[in-house]
């Protein structure tokens, strides 16, 4: 019993405890301000609204653990959606349009992966460029106007079972898949290895180019699915789809306790981060704030959480270090 307890209270869980407490505090705060807000309906809405965030954040976890990052998902969701719209308009075939949209997202992932892994370029800059060119193409696709895709896709995506649409199981499946990939497969191991020490990973004979590309392809897949869902939910492809999605996803991963320096983290923590961010965004929106207060409070809340997180982490790191040193010393003295 004590071992379970001490393990739960161990340092690796401090981040998680911290996040749970923050999430709880947030819920209580919103509950007090808006007693009617939190109910079954809210949960359903949050899931529906935050599906792209959840999916992209899952893949972003891989990117960040491997010491890379991807700034392009928001623009790519819009571009892939635009392709779905264009193909549907010109060919009239929904399946073909969906395949084309997925293909666009995967193709972009492949391109980013090639530039980062193949040419060895910096991921921030490569994906920043993609963030810009993809949004340009997405807006240019139909002069910034929505492209209607009829109701076929919407009927599937928005169909509701017990209040939850298809998106809820998609998110659950994606996270299960992500967890399996990260914790149980070679790709997962190598993701940690590359993030922990890229040179050591290469020396161990890992084909780092291949696995880096795989990470960007995973992101491409999540982007493709997000694009299909977004287009389906709205019934049209919007040039402004996914604005700010990449930064939200990064925040969700970081708030979940994964460090930008790479080498550690998991999708479970990211899931918690997504929940926290969804509640924050949803709760603030529900207060009926103007855009100005919404941004202001959101910014302050994020800065506060990130600051407290760092302070907590520093304290635990320091304690951990002291404990380890003490152990080493006693071991050395015992060996005498």
Partner 1 sequence: MSAEATTIEARVSTDRALMVDRIRHLAETLGIIAIAGALVLAFGLTSSHFLDSANVRNIFVQISVVGVAAIGETLVMLAGGLDLSVGSVVLLSEVICADLTATHHLPLSVALIAALAAAGGIGALNGVLVAVVGIEPILATLGTLLVAAGLAKLILGLRYLQVDHPIFTDLAVTNVLFNLPIMVAVMLGLYLVVAFTMRATPFGRAVYAIGGNRRAARLSGLSLVGITMGVYVIAGVLAGVAGFLNVAQIGLVSQNDGMGMEFQAIIAALVGGLSVTSGGVGRVERTLLGALMVGMMTNYQTIKGIDPPFQQAFLGGLLLAAVVADRALRGRQ
Partner 2 sequence: MPGQTAPLLRITGMTKWFPGTLALDDVDLVVERGTIHGLVGENGAGKSTLLKILAGDYRPTAGRIEIEGHEVEVSTPRRAHELGIGIVYQELSLLTNLSVAHNISLGSEPSTSLAVDERRLAEIASRALARMGVTTIDPAQKVGKIPLAERQLVEIARVLTLRQPRILIFDEPTAALGQADVDRLFRIMQALRDDGIGIIFVSHRYREVLRICDRATVMRNGRVVGEVERGETSVEHLVELTLGQKAAAAFHRTWRAGGELEPLLELRGLHVGVRVRGVDLVVRRGEIVSVCGLLGSGQNELARAVAGDVHDVSGEILVKGRAVAARSPREALGHGIALITENRQEEGLFPDMRVRANISVSSLGRVVVSPLLRVIDARKERRIASAVAQRTGIAPRALSRHIRVLSGGNQQKSLLARWLMRCAEVLVLIEPTRGVDVGAKLEIYRELEQLAQAGAGILVVSTDIPETMAVSDRIVVLHQGRVAGVLDPRSSAEQDVLLAMQGGSARAPEAVG
Residues that bind partner 1 (CB under 8 A): 115, 119-122, 124-126, 128-140, 143-144, 239, 247, 250-251, 254, 260, 290-300, 302-303, 306-307, 310-311, 314
The residue behind tokens 């930008």 is 260
Task: Name which of partner 2, partner 1, none residue 120 binds, using a CB cut-off of 5 to 8 Å depending on partner kind.
Answer: partner 1
Instruction: Kindly state whether residue 325 participates in binding partner 2, applying the rule CB under 8 A.
Output: yes
Instruction: Kindly state whether residue 317 participates in binding partner 2, applying the rule CB under 8 A.
Output: no
Instruction: Kindly state whether residue 333 participates in binding partner 2, applying the rule CB under 8 A.
Output: yes
Which of 107/196 has CB closer to partner 2?
Answer: 196
Yes or no: say if 62 and 249 are a contact pair by the CB < 8 Å rule.
Answer: no
Give me the torsion for CA of 328, 331, 332, 333, rounded to 10°: 120
C-alpha span between 273 and 151 (Å, rounded): 33
Question: Closest distance between partner 2 and the C-beta of residue 12, in Å?
Answer: 10
Yes or no: say if 147 and 80 are a contact pair by the CB < 8 Å rule.
Answer: no
Which of 200/247 has CB closer to partner 1?
Answer: 247
Query: Stretches 79-87, 213-221, 298-306, 319-327: which one binds partner 2 (CB under 8 A)?
Result: 319-327
Per CB under 8 A, the list member of 32, 119, 143, 199 interacting with partner 2 is 199
Question: Which ranges of the chain does DSSP label H, i.e. alpha helix?
Answer: 2-8, 11-33, 40-49, 51-65, 73-91, 94-113, 123-141, 152-157, 167-184, 186-196, 198-203, 208-234, 245-255, 267-286, 291-335
Per CB under 8 A, the list member of 62, 179, 192, 276 interacting with partner 2 is 192
Question: Closest distance between partner 2 and the C-beta of residue 204, in Å?
Answer: 4
Task: Give the closest residue to 167 by CA, choosing from 93, 246, 225.
Answer: 225
Yes or no: say if 85 and 255 are a contact pair by the CB < 8 Å rule.
Answer: no
Which of 6/39 has CB closer to partner 2?
Answer: 6
Question: Closest distance between partner 1 and the C-beta of residue 211, in Å?
Answer: 19
Tokens linked to 274: 């997504």
Per CB under 8 A, the list member of 26, 54, 102, 193 interacting with partner 2 is 193
Instruction: Kindly state whether residue 201 participates in binding partner 2, applying the rule CB under 8 A.
Output: yes
Task: Count Cβ atoms within 10 A of the Cβ of residue 56 and give its class: 0-12 exposed, 13-18 middle, 19 or more buried.
Answer: buried
Question: Closest distance between partner 2 and the C-beta of residue 266, in Å?
Answer: 12
Instruction: Kindly state whether residue 328 participates in binding partner 2, applying the rule CB under 8 A.
Output: yes
Site string for partner 2, 237-276 (x = CB under 8 A): --------------------------xx------------
Instruction: Kindly state whether residue 176 participates in binding partner 2, applying the rule CB under 8 A.
Output: no
C-alpha span between 40 and 43 (Å, rounded): 5
Length, in residues, of the chain = 336
């Amino acid at each position: 019993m004590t071992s379970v307890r001490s393990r739960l209270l161990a340092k690796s869980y401090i981040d998680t405890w911290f996040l749970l407490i923050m999430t709880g505090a947030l819920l209580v705060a919103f509950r007090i301000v808006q007693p009617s807000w939190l109910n079954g309906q809210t949960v359903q809405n949050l899931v529906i609204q935050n599906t792209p965030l959840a999916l992209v954040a899952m893949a972003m976890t891989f990117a960040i653990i491997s010491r890379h990052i991807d700034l392009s998902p928001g623009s790519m969701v819009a571009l892939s959606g635009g392709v779905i719209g264009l193909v549907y308009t010109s060919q009239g075939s929904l399946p073909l349009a969906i395949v084309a949209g997925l293909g666009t997202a995967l193709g972009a992932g492949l391109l980013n992966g090639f530039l980062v892994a193949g040419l060895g370029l910096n991921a921030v800059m490569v994906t920043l460029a993609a963030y810009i060119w993809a949004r340009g193409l997405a807006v240019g696709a139909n002069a910034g106007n929505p492209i209607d895709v009829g109701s076929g896709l919407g009927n599937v995506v928005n169909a509701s079972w017990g209040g939850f649409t298809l998106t809820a199981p998609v998110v659950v499946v994606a996270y299960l898949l992500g967890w399996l990939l990260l914790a149980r497969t070679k790709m997962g191991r190598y993701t940690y290895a590359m993030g922990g020490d890229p040179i050591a990973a290469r020396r161990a004979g890992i084909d780092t180019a291949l696995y880096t590309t795989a990470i960007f392809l995973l992101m491409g897949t999540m982007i493709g699915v997000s694009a299909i869902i977004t287009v389906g939910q709205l019934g049209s492809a919007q040039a402004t789809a996914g604005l700010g999605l990449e930064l939200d996803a990064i925040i969700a991963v970081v708030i979940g306790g994964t460090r930008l320096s790479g080498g550690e983290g998991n999708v479970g923590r990211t899931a918690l981060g997504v929940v926290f961010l969804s509640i924050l965004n949803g709760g603030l929106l529900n207060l009926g704030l103007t855009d100005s207060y919404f941004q202001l409070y959101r910014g302050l809340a994020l800065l506060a959480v990130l600051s407290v997180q760092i302070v907590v982490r520093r304290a635990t790191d320091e304690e951990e270090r002291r404990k380890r040193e003490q152990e080493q010393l006693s071991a050395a003295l015992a060996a005498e």
